[in-house]
Amino acid sequence: MTSTSFTLDRLPVGVVARIASLTMTGAERRRMMDLGLLPGAAIEVALENPLGDPTAYRVRGAVIALRREQAQQIQIALEETRRPDAQAAA
Amino acid sequence: MSNVPVSTVHAASACATCPMYNGAQLTKLGINMTDWDYIIALAGNPNTGKSTVFNALTGLRQHTGNWPGKTVVRAEGGFLYDEKRYKLVDLPGTYSLLSTSADEEVARDFILFGQPSVTVVVVDATRLERNLNLALQVLEITDRVVIALNLMDEAKRHGIEVDERHLARELGVPVVPMAARQGEGIQDLLKAIAEVASGAYVTRPRRINHRDPQLEGVVGQLVRQVEYAFPGLPNARWVALRLLDGDESIERAVADGTLGQLAQTQAPQPKPAIRLELETANYGD
């Protein structure tokens, strides 16, 4: 299973990715983790913003809006093998 | 427990919504609280129905509404159940007790230093994974916990089934399935609260085992120092872990001695001392 990794702000609409790591630190990192943004969690774009920022993401059944600077500090991985659960969730 | 009519124990869902059933041993006292036997804290993520549970138990009509941050400070009310008087404290909805918002500080300080007899964590059955974060954090602080598995009606509509017995086994505390808006599960919640408060139900809370000898060594060392500086602190281990995590509010409380004051005035169990503190403590400014 090959995977490509990049940051959350570059996740295309309709694609489900998995969080690989958070690169922010301190209280902001804690806050993200409390909101369910943890390594391994599936994440996708829920609502696109016509102004580009912030964007709403769906993670663990919740919709969370993140600014681009925040999304840039979240590393995600796309699994290139076709996973049935990723397809179904999209 | 002994005077619970047998029929209510095996009540079907139709019975559970009947006012006669729910009213069996519950007297709602509203804000009429002169004295109490137990203090119950109500915690949970935003929008899980904490205030609905609060109102169902106290008969009050505390602002229920579908927006975050609604319960900004603690709302308090009382009820009488099985000849015991309970004071119920509705805490602000939070995702965590570890971040730095004022809401989270209010909730955390009350659970940690208010030493409630029981902390009820209201969780959303449709978003369980996300809600268990807070539940586990509460279990790190106190072992007297009841999980109110609310919004079971919505979960059912979404085709979600929750194995509450398994969950109770995993968490080591009672788990009560509820649909508080419909009044379902209130009686079971009361029973679970009463059992944990009286000690009839001994909880075995799940704690995170760090399994790291180096970390445990440092924590142990810090615990001894914290206990030395603040004798009688209810949960020195938790404070030590927060200090290692760089929690600024806890650092401040240690540095300026606030931690000691909170522990000292609230550590002894007699009722008047706790009550006094509840009314005078200035939580989160």
Best residue in B45, B94, B95, B158 for a mutation probing chain A (most A CBs within 10 Å):
B95
Span of A3-17, A48-62, B101-115 with lowest mean pLDDT: B101-115
pTM of the model: 0.77
Number of inter-chain CB pairs under 8 A, A vs B: 27
How many CA atoms does the CB half-sphere of B64 hold within 13 Å? 15
The residue extents of the domains of chain A are 3-89
Structural domain range at position B92 = 6-198
pLDDT band of A3, cuts 50, 70, 90: low
What pLDDT does B153 receive?
A: 96
pLDDT tens readout for residues A71-90: 999 999 986 544 455 444 43
pLDDT in tens, B120-175: 999 999 999 889 999 999 998 898 999 999 999 999 999 999 999 999 999 999 99
| pLDDT tens sequence across B57-107 | 988 776 655 455 555 566 888 899 988 999 999 888 899 888 767 778 888
Q: Which of B105, B133, B241, B249 to mutate to test the interface with A (most CBs of A within 10 A)?
A: B133
Q: What one-letter code names the amino acid at B173?
A: V
The more confidently predicted of residues B2 and B186 is: B186
The arithmetic mean of pLDDT across residues B179-204, rounded, is: 94
Tell me, yes or no, whether B36 and B169 share the same domain: yes
Nearest CA in chain A to B124: A61
Helix axes B271-280, B258-266, angle to 10 degrees: 140
Q: Are residues B17 and B130 in the same domain?
A: yes
CA dihedral B127, B132, B138, B144 (to 10 degrees): 90
Mean pLDDT of A4-21: 91
Assigned token pair, A73: 């500090």
More confident residue, B36 or A43: A43
Q: Is residue B208 part of a domain?
A: no
Report the C-alpha gap between B167 and B101 in whole angstroms: 29
Sheet holding B75-81, edge to edge: B26-30, B75-81, B84-90, B38-44, B118-124, B145-150, B175-177
CATH for A3-89, options being 2.60.40.10, 2.30.30.90, 3.40.50.300, 2.130.10.10: 2.30.30.90
pLDDT at position B70, please? 52
Q: Which residues contact B255 (CB under 8 A, 6 or more apart)?
A: none
CB contact (8 A) between residue A36 and residue B98: no
Instruction: Find the distance separating the first CA and the last CA of chain B, reported in whole Å.
Output: 41
Question: Residue B34's pLDDT is what?
Answer: 67
**B61 shares a domain with B145:** yes
Tell me the per-residue pLDDT of B3-55, one tens digit each, with 9 for 90 and over. 444 444 444 455 555 555 545 578 777 766 667 899 999 999 988 999 899 99
Task: Name every chain B residue with its beta carbon within 8 A of the beta carbon of A60.
Answer: 127, 129-130
Interface ipTM above 0.90: no
Overall number of domains in chain B: 2
